[in-house]
Amino acid sequence: MSATAPVPTVADLPQVEVVHAVEGWPDDADAVVQRAAQAVLSGFADAASFGDISVALMDDASIQVLNRDYRGKDAPTNVLSFSVEEDGSILPPGERLPLGDIAVALETVVREAVEEDKTLAAHLAHMVVHGTLHLLGYDHELDSEAEEMEALERDVLASLGIADPYRT
């Protein structure tokens, strides 16, 4: 993200599709997801070249299966990101490779929001910001990577009026 880069318009940004895999998510979940993902994407001058994103609002049982099958961790987690990798196929002219998919687990996100004294909307937004940054290649395996990613998360969430999720 660059402070001097021109801000793309909403029309230039990739589409964000929200899929309700389970019932129980609040009525404003779609709007929260859209705003959070677009807040991340709008910080990149080249966002118009990015592919679309799909966000699946799931439950713990469903995300546990994904976490087990793709990460070898047989437990639910709050958010998972799956980048779409170029497989060598040729896309039709004007088509972009999707950026990837994000999965968010309802029960875990609700529990964490309560434990951290946050609103569900604020924590959901944080999970979507976090997941979107993963799709864009950010990671937190090393301390230096974590610092960079967390700083970006703080900036994006602040632009949405959401307090620093890493405050102690």
Q: Which range (5-9, 26-30, 41-45) has the least confidence?
A: 5-9
The residues, ordered by sequence, that sit 6+ positions from 79 with a Cβ below 8 Å of its Cβ are 102, 103, 104, 105, 109, 127, 128, 130, 131
pLDDT of residue 98: 83
Type of residue at 129 = V
pLDDT at 57 over 50: yes
Number of separate domains in the chain: 1
What is the spatial distance between Cα 55 and Cα 48, in angstroms, rounded to a whole number? 19
Question: Residue 84 pLDDT more than 90?
Answer: no
Q: Are 79 and 127 in contact (CB under 8 A)?
A: yes
How many C-beta atoms lie closer than 10 Å to residue 149's C-beta? 19
The answer to whether residue 3 is domain-embedded is no
106: domain CATH number?
A: 3.40.390.30
In whole angstroms, what is the distance from residue 54 CA to residue 134 CA?
A: 13
- In 3D space, the residue among 166, 57, 162, 164 whose CA is nearest the CA of residue 119 turns out to be 162
Question: Average pLDDT, whole number, for the chain?
Answer: 89
* pLDDT single digits (tens) 109-161: 999 999 999 999 999 999 999 999 999 999 998 889 999 999 999 999 999 99
Tell me whether residue 89 is in a domain.
Answer: no
Per residue in 18-36, pLDDT (tens digit) is 999 999 999 999 999 999 9
165 within a domain of the structure (yes/no): no
Instruction: Confirm whether 16 is domain-assigned.
Output: yes
Name the pTM for this structure: 0.89
* Domain membership flag for residue 57: yes
Domain holding 51, by residue range, is 10-84+95-159
Confidence of residue 168 (pLDDT cuts 50, 70, 90): low
Position 154 in a domain = yes
The Cα–Cα gap between 40 and 157 comes to: 9
Asked whether the predicted pLDDT for residue 2 surpasses 50, the reply is: no
